[in-house]
Amino acid sequence: MRKSVWLAAAATVIAGAAHAQVALDESKPQPIASILTWTPEQQATGYRSIETIFKTHTIKRGAKVHPLPLAARQIEPTFTYQGRTWTTDDYMKAYRVSGVLVLKDGKIVLEKYGLGRRPTDRWTSFSVAKSVTSTLVGAAIQDGKIKSLNDPVTAYIPELKGSAYEGVTVREMLMMSSGVKWNEDYTDPKSDVALAGGSVTEPGVNPMVSYLRRLPRANKPGTKFNYNTGETDLVGVLVSKATGETLAQYASEKIWKPYGMEQDAIWMTDPGGQERGGCCISMTLRDYGRIGLLIASGGVANGRRVVPPWWVGQATKVEIDNGSPPPAGYGYFWWIRSNDVYEAVGIFGQSVTIFKKEHLIIVVNSAWPTAIGKELGAAHNAFLEGVRAAARDTST
């Protein structure tokens, strides 16, 4: 994956995690960015049990489970990196990977676990959640709850009227191009991401809405890509207001139940009790794979269309230049590698990569020693290419 993708994705989630978390035990508040500095042992346990540490809502599964059959032939990928040959086990041990799932034509060709994780254990998504939120926007359009991507965001979040968000469209929000001034420097304690949404300052108004509506405009809407963590949360608020449901309820109705997820998921909430639009859904490895399959299918769950026919194609193509070398770019909360490869990305090594033309989905969950890193990204890319090569000739 290109370094710029990991840097931008990481900036968003690091910032989001910093101001988002609310300790489950109010008598033992967590430091603002504690999740970002967990020890390896804390990562291995905490990433799979977020609901015992922070406040969350549950995304309920349905009665039926979408099957993921084993392919007749399993793969054993190898790849070359830093002058040596690596196996999947080598990679998982060296880069603290808790789970790898590879689906070819909807069947499992590789599934492995590490760090003490079991198939029934959930794992936090970090910024992979943004792509789920994007899908919920598509579902709300399909349901007629959101009329058009060209609608102004103020039509759904009236508290933003009169602010720099006046005239910004839903589509521009999904492209991270509102034009609103935002400082994403998570090393600066006075930056927007360090200050935004940390507490309820106006009763009845979401904390992030309250903060963002005070910001000035820096650019014309739709003209410049600027990663803005707060806007990811705003899209989540928008979906909740448009549908009249919590994000967890809507995700249950539109994805978890109809597609047949195997287990309830967990979604971290902000100080106002709103699920984070851009962070921290916990689900099983196989359910990450099912998210990939839902999108790869064009958004059809059990024969029923979840999103409009045009949605996935538009959301997973380059809608705006994000600074990555062409043909890469950014869609609607999806990172685009090329015209047929796109992915959801989260810090500390979370990814769902979809190779559309090859009917291939690769899911990786990890607990990297740092949120991002050039070498970490390079090794991850080498692993993905090794898996892709091994799966290419697989017949199911």
- Residue 71 structure tokens: 């392919």
Token digits for 80?
């070359």
* Local structure of residue 276 (DSSP, 8 states): P
Domain assignment present for residue 325? The answer is yes
- Segment 113-128, tens digit of pLDDT: 999 999 999 999 999 9
Strands 300-301 and 304-305: antiparallel
How far is the C-alpha of 144 from the C-alpha of 118, rounded, in Å?
A: 40
AA identity, residue 152: P
Radius of gyration of the chain measured on its C-alpha atoms: 20
Report how many domains make up the chain: 1
**Beta-strand (E) ranges in 263-319?**
265-268, 281-284, 300-301, 304-305
What are the residues facing 59 on neighbouring strands?
265
Residue 263 lies in a domain: yes
Cα dihedral 364, 186, 246, 302, rounded to 10, equals -20
**Cα separation of 344 and 342, whole Å?**
7
DSSP E strands in 248-332: the ranges are 265-268, 281-284, 300-301, 304-305, 329-330
Rounded CA separation 183/218 (Å): 11
**What is the domain-level CATH number for residue 343?**
3.40.710.10
CA 282, 287, 293, 298 torsion: positive or negative?
negative
Residue 29: give the domain boundaries: 3-130+139-144+246-392
pLDDT digits (tens, 9 = 90+) for 171-205: 999 999 999 999 877 567 788 877 777 788 899 99
Q: Map residue 72 onto helix, strand or coil.
A: coil
Q: What are the percentages of helix, strand and coil residues in the chain, rounded to 5?
A: 35, 20, 45
Q: What integer pLDDT is reported at residue 165 of this predicted model?
A: 97
Beta-carbon count within 10 A of 200 CB: 15
d(CA 200, CA 270): 9
Assess if residue 220 is contained within a domain. Answer: no
Q: How far apart are CA 391 and CA 326, in angstroms?
A: 26
Residue in 34, 47, 187 with CA at minimum distance from that of residue 117: 47
Answer whether 345's CB lies under 8 Å from 6's CB.
yes
Chain centroid to Cα 197, Å, comes to 19
pLDDT (tens digit, 9 = 90+) per residue, 145-166? Answer: 999 999 999 999 999 999 999 9
Which sign does the torsion angle of CA 219, 224, 229, 231 carry? Answer: positive
Query: How far is Cα 238 from Cα 373, in angstroms, rounded to an integer?
Result: 33
Q: For the chain, what's the residue count?
A: 396
CB neighbours of 189 closer than 8 A, spacing ≥ 6?
Answer: none
156 lies in some domain: no
Give the 3-state secondary structure of residue 365. strand
Q: What is the rounded distance in angstroms from the CA atom of residue 31 to the CA atom of residue 24?
A: 13
Q: Is the pLDDT of residue 393 over 70?
A: yes
Residue among 304, 285, 294, 310 at smallest CA distance from 363: 285
pLDDT tens sequence across 220-257: 999 999 988 788 899 999 999 999 999 999 999 999 99
Q: Which of 362, 353, 366 is CA-nearest to residue 48? A: 366
* Neighbour tally for 376: CB within 10 Å: 20
Examine residue 113 and state whether it is found in any structural domain, yes or no: yes
Residue 27: band (very low, low, confident or very high) from pLDDT cuts 50, 70, 90: low
Kindly report whether the global pTM for this prediction surpasses the value 0.75.
yes
Q: Tell me, yes or no, whether 79 lies in a domain.
A: yes
For the chain, give the mean pLDDT. 91
The reply to whether 223 falls in a domain is no
Among residues of the chain, what percentage have pLDDT more than 90? 80
Residue 395 pLDDT grade (very low, low, confident, very high; cuts 50, 70, 90) = low
Query: How confident is the model over 277-317, as pLDDT tens digits?
Result: 999 999 999 999 999 999 999 999 999 999 999 999 999 99
Query: H or E stretch including 247?
Result: helix 247-251
Give the C-alpha separation, 165 to 178, whole Å.
7
Task: Give a yes or no: residue 224 inside a domain.
Answer: no
b/e sequence 127-141, b meaning 16+ C-beta within 10 Å: bbbbbbbbbbbbbbb
